[in-house]
Chain A
Amino acid sequence: MLHKNPLLFRLMTAFLVMGVLLSACATPTTEAPKPTEAPKATAAPAATAAPTAAPTAIPLTRGKGGTLKILYWQAPTILNRHLAVGTKDADSSRLVLEPLAAFGPDAKPVAVLAAEVPTLDNGGVSKDLMTITWKLKQGVKWSDGSDFSADDVVFTYDYASNKDTAATTAANYNNIAKVEALDKNTVKVTWKSPNPSYYVAFVASGGAIIQKKQFADWVGAKAKDAPGNLKPIGTGPYKIREFKPGDVVVYDMNENYRDPTKPFFKEVQFKGGGDATTAARAVFQTGDFDYAWNLQIEAAVLAQLITTGGKGEHVAVPSNSIERIMVNFANPDPALGDKRSEPDQKHPFLSDLKVRQAFAMAVDRKTIAEQLYGPQGKATCNYIVGAADVTSTNTDKMDVCTYNIDKANALLEEAGWKKGADGIRAKGNVKMSVVFQTSVNAARQKQQEIVKAGWEKIGVKVELKAIPATVYFDSSAAQPDNINHFYADFQMYANSVAPPERTPDLELWTTPFIAQKANQWRLTNLNRYSNPEFDKLFDQYLKEIDPVKRAALVIKLNDFLIADVALIPLVARAGPNSGRAKDLKGVLPNAWDSEMWNIADWSK
């Protein structure tokens, strides 16, 4: 019958041809990955969530493993660390590009490309804190076989500090007078003024050294067009075989890597996309992947995935990423028009310390941490969380850090705020009614509810506002809903995980940094917090060059902010908050550097 109908026949042929075309297109043009099933150890040691055995204890042998499969639910888009925008880019480039020194899990520097970490004691850092001299490891080669030298380090400085390059790491190279190669293996950095935070340039994630040969022609405005941005040559344990921006990176082991026993895996697949929950499933339940990044999932769901799956472990340590409620010291009343949230408009009640204390006491951070974060965060009342020497132990004893509704109510009574017929406190014709904003995020909305319940118990009317993250964190002057304009009484967010250097976190509470209309809301003191005493203490910190006294000052500054309720810290979020396969060894969670910082030591 069919052949009698030419039309139908033609249609069917067309379908067939289309089918052939489509399946032809389906063939990606890349080399096939090697078999992914690495022989699994029959009796895997009962691993715990704690750091696995020290890397040196594992007999690694180069290329013995098959494919290491890493899953990020955000996909890398560029592999040149200096142009990277997100963690996904920084982490995926870390397999290839290395700094002179990394930060270890204890927030102390560890030599990577440097032969040793320069210190005051070994003379690497000059007594006047004007110079630091890095001795480089001998015989290090780039993955293309050429020699790594001090020139590459100097070039990296020239590249990243060039304003037209528009490097995202530019701030790491501030305050430097010159960087010079004393010989093939020695680099000397001279600062413009004594610099007590000397482990910033060339250290940790932003310190990635790029190859001069590859990028010499691509400094300045041309930087973004460099082909090397998608395929940088590095000194790291792996080299890039194939990169599809926004999708996947495939790496081969680097035969020129300096340690002949590393890396263990022949190949690494760094896949991106999807969502955190299915990423967790891929590691904990199906075992399709060996490592999954940033599993921001509700605590109960995560726990269930881990226990029912049984194929992986959660990798997490508290970091200096602090989920906090910021207090507006200026008046955000819309009736003020252009003067809204300007620093000269005092907040009608939040400028009163007693009121702020009451708000702080009515926040139940323990419930938030335990119910919403679980292993993914720890309740904290500190603003600065870091190594033991800079982390305050005084705040736990403070009244403002203890959840106490009765005391909070008493404080408000004392301050003259009386409950009206509707249960809302008022003083004169001012009602205690606040707007509390944050970004759209399931966990944050639940946090808002818990905070709201507490504040309602002390007679405050709370209006919650949730703003899409891209708007909330959009720093442009034309965006009134962003955190910079702060058109609310309270706002909640967390800073991202960063190296242990404290100055940027502290300076944003000083008066010269107040964000306001006059500076297009560009500066970082979003709370419009201004306290001459704090400013004086901060100046003292900046001038202090003795490391021990400096650390003590960090604690003092932290305690000052907490006692003055400049902010209400809630949770120290887990730095890496990832999942790893049970048989994956060598993963050392580290909140101070990229979680790929010791990828060379990973094995099975």
Chain B
Amino acid sequence: MRTYILRRVLTAIPTLFIISIVIFTILAAAPGDPLSQLALNPEVPPEVRENLRRALGLDDPWHIRYIKWVWSMAKGEFGYSFSSHIPVVELVKQRLPNTLAVVGIAYLIAALFALPIGVLSAVRQYSFFDQAATTFAFIGVCAPTFFTGLLFILIFSVKLQWFPFIYDTTLKIEDFDSLLKQIKQSIMPISVLALFQMGQLTRFTRASVLENLPMDYVRTAWAKGLPERAVVFRHVFPNSLIPVVTLIALSIPNIFAGAIITEQIFRVNGIGELLITSTLNNDTPVVMGLTFIYSVLVVLFNLVADIIYGFLDPRIAYE
């Protein structure tokens, strides 16, 4: 097992190196100018813009810029933002708590609800519960977050005035009142995301359990006279988890990447919001930094998923 992990970690190094080159090349080739906001400002003449360009290092040849970037990643800074002139890692540190508080909890809630619903749907296939869950899941999957988000804002903020739709990132939870405020402001973004994620996960779990139900070992379990709960939870459920674990493990990097649309709508200024505004403003060091961090997480959680397989299914062994 240990040699297997070591081997995987070592192969990850060239992978990440190639990823860094690809990210850099694509962004270097992409059109756009971080100073385009100044283009129409009569107070900022072209020579001032030229000077800024030089100061930001935009005039350097591409290989120099690449080496500078890799060096700054090696130092753990992941490059400097063009607009705020601070290391990307600082920006990530400020944003991560917001993203985890909303996107993380949404995924958690989605998983907690989706697994039992999925199992029950499969076991009681075509029952009323299954039909209802299926309908619900399809709505969740099909309704895009920008639609449900705006719908929620119109209903719960504008009409009913129950929840604020602008997330206050400076709120500190220190007493019951502020906790209540935090819950109130989190409900809408979390439910929008959870609804979406839950739909997918429910369908996955259901399909996976259905696949296992007609298996021989399940028939054996029934034949032994085990009660339904034991059959489902001791035998079927762990075996059906393998594809579900893949889905969850591979979506954990997504949690860190934030939810671009939902964060934007509710102004939860997390990682996703950072990524989209940096892209729009051509703040390429931030975009490169975030994309690279995301790549590292994807590579990492792929490995984690593979290790969990061995844990769930003894037949899968790594040496």
B51 within 8 Å of A (CB atoms): yes
How many of chain B's residues touch chain A, expressed as a range?
Answer: 35 or more
- The one of B51, B104, B172, B282 that contacts A28, using a Cβ cutoff of 8 Å: B172
Instruction: Report the Cα distance A166→B34, complex, angstroms.
Output: 14
- The one of A29, A224, A244, A496 that contacts B41, using a Cβ cutoff of 8 Å: A496
- Chain B residues with CB below 8 A from A7, complex form: 238, 312
A to B CB contacts below 8 Å, 29 in the list: A4-B234, A5-B234, A15-B112, A27-B172, A32-B178, A33-B171, A75-B269, A77-B83, A85-B83, A166-B52, A168-B44, A168-B52, A169-B43, A244-B169, A244-B170, A247-B269, A275-B264, A278-B153, A282-B165, A286-B164, A288-B165, A470-B31, A471-B31, A473-B37, A474-B31, A474-B36, A496-B41, A504-B45, A505-B42
**Minimum distance in angstroms from B61 CB to a CB of chain A:** 13
Q: Flag the segment in B3-11, B91-99, B217-225 that touches A.
A: B91-99
Q: Is the CB of A15 within 8 A of B111?
A: yes
Q: Mark A453-489, 1 if CB is under 8 A from B, else 0.
A: 0000000000000000111011110010101000000
Q: Is the CB of A1 within 8 A of B48?
A: no
Q: Is the CB of B41 within 8 A of A282?
A: no
Q: Flag the segment in A186-194, A266-274, A535-543, A581-589 that touches B.
A: A266-274
Q: Is the CB of A522 within 8 A of B46?
A: yes
- The one of A25, A248, A275, A288 that contacts B269, using a Cβ cutoff of 8 Å: A248
Given A246-B274, A272-B269, A273-B269, A28 contacting B280 (CB threshold 8 A): no
**Closest A residue to B44 using CB positions:** A168
Q: Is the CB of B166 within 8 A of A289?
A: yes
A547 within 8 Å of B (CB atoms): no
Q: Is the CB of A271 within 8 A of B91?
A: no
**Minimum distance in angstroms from B155 CB to a CB of chain A:** 12
Instruction: Report the Cα distance A221→B83, complex, angstroms.
Output: 16
Q: Is the CB of A245 within 8 A of B41?
A: no
**Closest A residue to B278 using CB positions:** A246
Q: Is the CB of B85 within 8 A of A224?
A: yes
Q: Is the CB of A78 within 8 A of B50?
A: no
Q: Is the CB of A8 within 8 A of B170?
A: no
**Closest A residue to B277 using CB positions:** A246
- Chain B residues with CB below 8 A from A1, complex form: 229-230, 233-234
Q: Is the CB of B31 within 8 A of A479?
A: yes
Instruction: Report the Cα distance A499→B171, complex, angstroms.
Output: 37
Q: Is the CB of A27 within 8 A of B97?
A: yes
**Closest A residue to B51 using CB positions:** A166
Given A78-B83, A271-B166, A22 contacting B105 (CB threshold 8 A): yes
Given A32-B172, A288-B164, A475-B35, A77 contacting B84 (CB threshold 8 A): yes
User: Of residues 517 to 533 in A, which have CB atoms within 8 Å of B's CB atoms?
Assistant: 522-524
**Minimum distance in angstroms from B177 CB to a CB of chain A:** 9
B67 within 8 Å of A (CB atoms): no
**Minimum distance in angstroms from B176 CB to a CB of chain A:** 12
- Chain B residues with CB below 8 A from A83, complex form: 85
CB-CB nearest 8 A-B residue pairs: A26-B101, A166-B55, A474-B33, A247-B269, A245-B84, A473-B36, A77-B83, A504-B42
Q: Mark B60-75, 1 if CB is under 8 A from A, else 0.
A: 0000000000000000
- The one of A32, A286, A479, A504 that contacts B174, using a Cβ cutoff of 8 Å: A32
- Chain A residues with CB below 8 A from B98, complex form: 28
Q: Is the CB of A171 within 8 A of B44?
A: yes
A225 within 8 Å of B (CB atoms): yes
A163 within 8 Å of B (CB atoms): yes
- Chain B residues with CB below 8 A from A479, complex form: 31, 33
Q: Is the CB of B40 within 8 A of A493?
A: yes
B130 within 8 Å of A (CB atoms): no
Can you add 5 more A-B contacts, CB < 8 Å, to A32-B178, A164-B55, A504-B43?
Answer: A30-B172, A78-B84, A245-B94, A247-B273, A273-B277
Q: Is the CB of B269 within 8 A of A163?
A: no
- The one of B40, B157, B166 that contacts A473, using a Cβ cutoff of 8 Å: B40
Q: Is the CB of B172 within 8 A of A25?
A: no
B32 within 8 Å of A (CB atoms): yes
A37 within 8 Å of B (CB atoms): no
Q: Is the CB of A8 within 8 A of B238?
A: yes
- The one of A28, A77, A274, A504 that contacts B169, using a Cβ cutoff of 8 Å: A28
Instruction: Report the Cα distance A8→B280, complex, angstroms.
Output: 44
Q: Which residues of A are in contact with B by a Cβ distance under 8 Å?
A: 1-2, 4-5, 7-8, 15, 18-19, 22-23, 25-33, 71, 74-75, 77-78, 83, 85-86, 163-164, 166-172, 206, 221, 224-225, 229-230, 242, 244-248, 250, 269, 271-275, 278, 281-282, 285-286, 288-289, 469-471, 473-476, 479, 481, 483, 493-496, 498-499, 504-505, 522-524
- Chain A residues with CB below 8 A from B170, complex form: 28, 30, 33, 242, 244, 248, 250, 269
Q: Is the CB of A278 within 8 A of B165?
A: yes
- Chain B residues with CB below 8 A from A469, complex form: 36
The total number of A-B Cβ pairs within 8 Å is 223
- Chain B residues with CB below 8 A from A74, complex form: 277
- Chain A residues with CB below 8 A from B84, complex form: 77-78, 229-230, 245-246
The DSSP consensus for interface residues of chain B is helix
B108 within 8 Å of A (CB atoms): yes
Q: Is the CB of B40 within 8 A of A496?
A: yes
Q: Is the CB of A26 within 8 A of B182?
A: yes
**Minimum distance in angstroms from B107 CB to a CB of chain A:** 9
Q: Is the CB of A278 within 8 A of B48?
A: no
Q: Is the CB of A23 within 8 A of B158?
A: no
Instruction: Report the Cα distance A412→B119, complex, angstroms.
Output: 76
Q: Is the CB of A286 within 8 A of B264?
A: no
Q: Is the CB of A171 within 8 A of B33?
A: no
B124 within 8 Å of A (CB atoms): no
- Chain A residues with CB below 8 A from B171, complex form: 28, 32-33
Q: Is the CB of B94 within 8 A of A25?
A: no
B292 within 8 Å of A (CB atoms): no
Q: Is the CB of A474 within 8 A of B32?
A: yes
- Chain A residues with CB below 8 A from B37, complex form: 85-86, 473
- Chain A residues with CB below 8 A from B43, complex form: 169, 171-172, 206, 498-499, 504
- Chain B residues with CB below 8 A from A78, complex form: 83-85
**Minimum distance in angstroms from A198 CB to a CB of chain B:** 16
- Chain A residues with CB below 8 A from B104, complex form: 22, 25
**Closest A residue to B103 using CB positions:** A22
Instruction: Report the Cα distance A225→B230, complex, angstroms.
Output: 63
- Chain B residues with CB below 8 A from A522, complex form: 46, 50
Instruction: Report the Cα distance A276→B301, complex, angstroms.
Output: 38
B237 within 8 Å of A (CB atoms): yes
- Chain A residues with CB below 8 A from B269, complex form: 75, 244, 246-248, 272-273
Q: Is the CB of B280 within 8 A of A168?
A: no
Instruction: Report the Cα distance A499→B43, complex, angstroms.
Output: 8
Q: Is the CB of B280 within 8 A of A273?
A: no
B168 within 8 Å of A (CB atoms): yes
Q: Is the CB of A163 within 8 A of B85?
A: no
Q: Is the CB of A168 within 8 A of B38?
A: yes
- Chain B residues with CB below 8 A from A473, complex form: 33, 36-37, 39-40
Instruction: Report the Cα distance A164→B269, complex, angstroms.
Output: 33
- Chain A residues with CB below 8 A from B52, complex form: 166, 168
Q: Is the CB of A166 within 8 A of B169?
A: no
- Chain B residues with CB below 8 A from A242, complex form: 170
**Closest B residue to A493 using CB positions:** B40
User: Of residues 165 to 211 in B, which have CB atoms within 8 Å of A's CB atoms?
Assistant: 165-166, 168-174, 178, 182
- Chain A residues with CB below 8 A from B273, complex form: 246-247, 273
- Chain A residues with CB below 8 A from B108, complex form: 15, 18-19, 22
**Closest B residue to A504 using CB positions:** B42
**Closest A residue to B159 using CB positions:** A285
B298 within 8 Å of A (CB atoms): no
B161 within 8 Å of A (CB atoms): yes
Q: Is the CB of B264 within 8 A of A274?
A: yes
- The one of A163, A224, A286 that contacts B161, using a Cβ cutoff of 8 Å: A286
- Chain B residues with CB below 8 A from A269, complex form: 168, 170
- Chain A residues with CB below 8 A from B32, complex form: 470-471, 474
Q: Is the CB of B38 within 8 A of A281?
A: no
- Chain B residues with CB below 8 A from A225, complex form: 85
**Closest A residue to B245 using CB positions:** A11
- Chain A residues with CB below 8 A from B49, complex form: 475
